[in-house]
Amino acid sequence: MHTALLLDMAADAAPDRLALGGRADGLTFDETRRRARAGAAWLAGQGDGTVAFLGLNGPALPIAVFAAGLLGRPFAPLNYRLPNADLNRLLARTAPSVAIVDDDMLGRLEPHAGVTVVARSAFEAACASPGSDDLPDAQPDIAVLLFTSGTTGEPKAAILRHANLTSYVISTVEFLGAEEGEAALVSVPPYHIAGISAVLTGVYGGRRIVYLEAFTAEDWVEAAAREEISHAMVVPTMLGAILDILEARGESLPALKALSYGGGRMPLPVIERALAMLPHVDFVNAYGLTETSSTIAVLGPDDHRMAIYSDDEAAQRRLGSVGRPLPSLELEIRDPEGRVLGPNQPGEIYVRGEQVSGEYAHKKMLCDDGWFATNDGGWLDEEGYLFVEGRLDDVIVRGGENMSPGEIEDVLRAHPGVADVAVLGVPDDHWGEKVAAVVVARDPAPSPEDLAAWVRARLRSTKTPEVWAFREALPYNDTGKLLRRQLKAEMTAKPAAA
Amino acid sequence: MDLKPGSRWKSAVCDAELVVVRAPKSPVSLECGGHPVIPHAEARSGDLTLSDAHAAGSAAGKRYSDPESGLEVLCSKAGQGSLSVDGRAIGAQEAKKLPSSD
């Protein structure tokens, strides 16, 4: 099944409903489809190959996604925050391609063989003008190429096929299930899997999409209030900043119905504060990977409320989980030998289902039987709630004992003197690795002794960090992922005082 | 008819359009409004009429499945005809209730 069919269905069934943009000047579903077809016809005349996209959020993004799909060509959004050298290297990898580039980013590009660069303004003009929409018959295959964030080296190109993405959409979203007037605010960038899935699920669900060109908490709150936003998805670092603005302005966003979050570990104090400040909002924690076409597990609104209002410890603990796997796929925890583990036993998260691509350019990572090893560590509780411990690469091995940084970070983050923290392993001659903590302190700053005692009282003593460092801030990429490797390199190069 | 996943079909007697989500385990005939469906690209002949026994309608966005053959289709455009497989009526699956996560 083809992603363009999702738009076709919505445009046939609800042609006059607003699909993209503001309440006053938005585009209807019918007009969105017309522009996607006109854009596809125009792109076909510009050059062959992948449709690359380098630019900020906006209605041109979904139109380009569907235009590429209509042509049967992969859509490859690029990270405009990369330094010019890295960006040009990625762009060269998309060849043969036509690259739609924001006008004010054109100057950053070098010429590359096989890459035709077109200005976003030219693409938008072509989509808006009544032109030919005579399209060649396309066989749907690769829908999207997404370059991973490359926190662990040269970015890999993850392949998502039309079959993966449409399977995800039709198995998780009710067709035109959105109520009239609902609107989703999208602030994750186009090159993030959540930016792509938001286009497809928004269109199929019939919910108007409002874009923030790029995220700032001020702009987010202003847009949410102005456009009476009902739904939004944020990454953890965004939520904390949004709550600060809401509190400062005394704004409660009465139209907001649902706020989902994902893309990284949500600190418990932040989500607890959000639940207290926005009691009318349904909170949803979604866990997924680029290679799984977005969400594979969901912690729903009632799970959030149970965690806050119930005395049941298991229910409270689940606020730290990512909820239950989607019913449309299978999920298992396995040990390093591949044996399936039972409840409460940590191992590697494996997933199987039609939405799972598990595929990179030139490299298929799926097992023969369709299972994908996520490289995320985690465990399931008795009720099937999934707890994610983080990347297996980040596990600290101290004297043969495996420790997940996330567990230690959660404990430290609950200390009143800790604003943010990262835990990682640094080389040690005796233990192989030892536990180090990099702390962003509040005023007054706690001492390493205080913090060590805090951890020792709550976890095994071997999990107590032996190396402490204090910093003004931790390095994150723009989608909220901690740059643990960078931190580790810095900590290893310049040992901090113990 | 080759009901492979992703293939598109339409009713011979009404506006309904269908996409195959899951192929049947063995060849079957998929009908809408009492008549076998035709490939999406083909024109309706206009000779056939909707059968009263198969006129309960099909709804856009609903998934219809036949447990016996394993066939599963998504209705991509609504129509007056209802769906059947080898003459037996097939029903719509319950709508999924998953909270929005994107």
A194 chain-B contacts, CB cut-off 8 A? 102
Sequence-ordered list of residues with C-beta below 8 angstroms from that of A416, at least 6 positions apart, any chain: A442
Give the pLDDT of residue B97: 66
Last residue of one domain, picked from the residues A366, A393, A420: A393
Question: Does residue A362 form part of some domain?
Answer: yes
Give the pLDDT of residue A477: 81
Could you tell me how far CA A324 lies from the centroid of its own chain? 18
Question: Does residue B99 form part of some domain?
Answer: no
Summarize the confidence of residues B14-19 as an average pLDDT. Answer: 95
Q: How far is A194 from chain B (nearest CA, A)?
A: 6
Q: Which of residues 197-226 of A touch B (CB under 8 A)?
A: 197-198, 201-202, 204-205, 207
Last residue of one domain, picked from the residues A288, A303, A318: A303
Among A174, A262, A301, the residue with its CB nearest the CB of B61 is A174
Residue keyed to tokens 């609902």: A182
Among A9, A173, A295, the residue with its CB nearest the CB of B76 is A9
Last residue of one domain, picked from the residues A378, A393, A408: A393
CA separation for the pair A209, A203 (Å, rounded) = 8
Give the pLDDT of residue A140: 75
Give the pLDDT of residue A412: 94
The burial class, CB within 10 Å (0-12 / 13-18 / 19+), for A375 is: middle
Query: Could you tell me if A263 and A335 lie in one domain?
Result: no
A9 pLDDT exceeds 50?
Answer: yes
Among A5, A202, A295, the residue with its CB nearest the CB of B19 is A5
CB A194 within 8 Å of CB A294 = yes
Question: Does residue B36 form part of some domain?
Answer: yes
ipTM passes above 0.90: no
Summarize the confidence of residues A461-475 as an average pLDDT. Answer: 93
Give the pLDDT of residue A407: 86
Instruction: Select from A237, A187, A223, A231 the least CA-distant residue to A207.
Output: A231
Give the pLDDT of residue A227: 95
Identify the band that residue A277 occupies on the pLDDT scale cut at 50, 70 and 90: very high
B16 pLDDT exceeds 60?
Answer: yes
Q: How far is A261 from chain B (nearest CA, A)?
A: 7
Summarize the confidence of residues B34-56 as an average pLDDT. Answer: 94
B37 pLDDT exceeds 70?
Answer: yes
> Quick check: B62 contacting A, CB < 8 Å?
yes
Summarize the confidence of residues A185-206 as an average pLDDT. Answer: 95
Summarize the confidence of residues A346-359 as an average pLDDT. Answer: 95
The whole domain housing A67 covers 3-303
Give the pLDDT of residue A253: 94
Instruction: Select from B90, B82, B92 the least CA-distant residue to B50.
Output: B82
Sequence-ordered list of residues with C-beta below 8 angstroms from that of B70, at least 6 positions apart, any chain: B22, B23, B24, B25
> Quick check: B101 contacting A, CB < 8 Å?
yes
> Residue A411: which CATH number?
3.30.300.30
A73 pLDDT exceeds 50?
Answer: yes
A323 pLDDT exceeds 80?
Answer: yes
Task: Please state whether A83 falls in left (phi above 0), alpha (psi between -120 and 50) or beta.
Answer: beta
% of chain A at pLDDT higher than 90: 76
Query: A301 and B99 in contact by Cβ < 8 A?
Result: yes
CA separation for the pair A385, A255 (Å, rounded) = 30
Tally of domains in chain A: 3
Identify the band that residue A237 occupies on the pLDDT scale cut at 50, 70 and 90: confident
Query: Could you tell me if A49 and A62 lie in one domain?
Result: yes
B95 pLDDT exceeds 80?
Answer: no
More confident residue, A310 or A166: A166
Give the pLDDT of residue A35: 97
Give the pLDDT of residue A100: 98
A42 pLDDT exceeds 90?
Answer: yes
A494 pLDDT exceeds 80?
Answer: no
Question: Does residue A327 form part of some domain?
Answer: yes
A151 pLDDT exceeds 80?
Answer: no
Question: Does residue B17 form part of some domain?
Answer: yes
> Residue A254: which CATH number?
3.40.50.12780
Question: Does residue A498 form part of some domain?
Answer: no
CB A261 within 8 Å of CB A284 = yes
Give the pLDDT of residue B5: 87
Tally of domains in chain B: 1
Instruction: Select from A107, A449, A146 the least CA-distant residue to A293.
Output: A146
Residue keyed to tokens 């799972």: A356
> Quick check: A7 contacting B, CB < 8 Å?
no
CA separation for the pair A100, A207 (Å, rounded) = 26
In Å, how far are A81, A279, A313, B7, B74 from B37, measured between CA atoms?
50, 50, 55, 12, 14
Give the pLDDT of residue A446: 95
Question: Does residue A169 form part of some domain?
Answer: yes
Summarize the confidence of residues A30-37 as an average pLDDT. Answer: 97
Query: Could you tell me if A345 and A475 lie in one domain?
Result: no
In the sheet that holds A467-470, the strands lie side by side as A418-428, A432-441, A467-470
Residue keyed to tokens 């495996």: A402
Question: Does residue B97 form part of some domain?
Answer: no
Q: How far is A61 from chain B (nearest CA, A)?
A: 16
Query: Could you tell me if A367 and A487 lie in one domain?
Result: no
A498 pLDDT exceeds 50?
Answer: no
Query: Could you tell me if A44 and A171 lie in one domain?
Result: yes
Torsion of CA A199, A204, A207, A213, to 10 degrees: 10
CB A209 within 8 Å of CB A182 = no
**pLDDT tens digit string along A156-189?**
899 999 999 999 999 999 999 999 899 999 999 9
| Mean of pLDDT over chain A | 92
A464 pLDDT exceeds 60?
Answer: yes
Among B21, B63, B99, the residue with its CB nearest the CB of A284 is B99
Question: What are A147's two structure tokens?
Answer: 């370059």
Give the chain A residue whose CA is nearest to the CA of B9: A1
> Residue A386: which CATH number?
2.30.38.10
Torsion of CA B12, B13, B17, B21, to 10 degrees: -60
Summarize the confidence of residues A122-137 as an average pLDDT. Answer: 86
CA separation for the pair A374, A359 (Å, rounded) = 12
Among B6, B77, B101, the residue with its CB nearest the CB of A298 is B101
